[in-house]
Amino acid sequence: MSDMSKLQALIFDVDGTLADTERDGHRISFNRAFAEAGLDWEWSVELYGKLLSVTGGKERILHYIEQYLPGFTRPEPLKEFIAGLHFAKTKHYVELLAEGGIPLRPGVKRLLSEAKAAGLRLAIATTTTPANVTALLESVLPEGQSWFEVIGAGDIVPAKKPAPDIYDYVLKEMQLSPEQCIAFEDSRQGLRSSLGAHLKTIVTVNSYTAQQEFTDAALVVDQIGEPDSPFTVLSGNVGTKTYLDLELVRSLF
Ligand code: XBP
Ligand code: MG
* Residue 123 host element (H or E): strand 121-126
Answer yes or no: is the C-beta of 164 below 6 A from any ligand 1 atom.
no
Answer yes or no: is the C-beta of 223 below 6 A from any ligand 1 atom.
no
User: Torsion over CA of 63, 69, 72 and 76, rounded to 10 degrees?
Assistant: 0
Ligand 1 centroid to 122 CA: how many Å?
20
Give the C-alpha separation, 57 to 30, whole Å. 8
pLDDT of residue 1: 45
Query: Please, what sign has the CA dihedral across residues 159, 163, 165, 166?
Result: positive
Q: In what order do the strands lie in the sheet with 200-204?
A: 148-153, 121-126, 9-12, 181-185, 200-204, 219-221, 233-235
* pLDDT tens for the chain, residues 1 to 253: 456 679 999 999 999 999 999 999 999 999 999 999 999 999 999 999 999 999 999 999 999 999 999 999 999 999 999 999 999 999 999 999 999 889 999 999 999 999 999 999 999 999 999 999 999 999 999 998 999 999 999 999 999 999 999 999 999 999 999 999 999 999 999 999 999 999 999 999 999 999 999 999 999 999 999 999 999 999 999 999 999 999 999 999 9
- pTM metric for this prediction: 0.96
Answer yes or no: is the C-beta of 189 below 6 A from any ligand 1 atom.
no
Q: For residue 155, indicate whether it is catalytic.
A: no
For residue 160, give Cα distances in angstroms to 94, 103, 152, 154: 21, 25, 11, 8
Largest Cα–Cα distance of the chain, in whole Å?
59
Three-state DSSP string of 213-240:
CCCCCCEEECCCCECCECCCEEECCCCC
DSSP state of 24: I
- Give, using CA atoms, the residue closest to atom 7 of ligand 1: 55
Ligand 1 centroid to 131 CA: how many Å?
11
Nearest atom, ligand 1, residue 56 CA: 8
Nearest atom, ligand 1, residue 30 CA: 16
Answer yes or no: is the C-beta of 13 below 6 A from any ligand 1 atom.
yes
- Give, using CA atoms, the residue closest to atom 16 of ligand 1: 57
Answer yes or no: is the C-beta of 180 below 6 A from any ligand 1 atom.
no
Peptide bond between residue 142 and the one before it cis (omega within 30 degrees of 0): no
Q: Which domains does the chain have, with CATH numbers?
A: 4-20+102-252 (3.40.50.1000), 23-100 (1.10.150.240)
Q: For residue 13, indicate whether it is catalytic.
A: yes
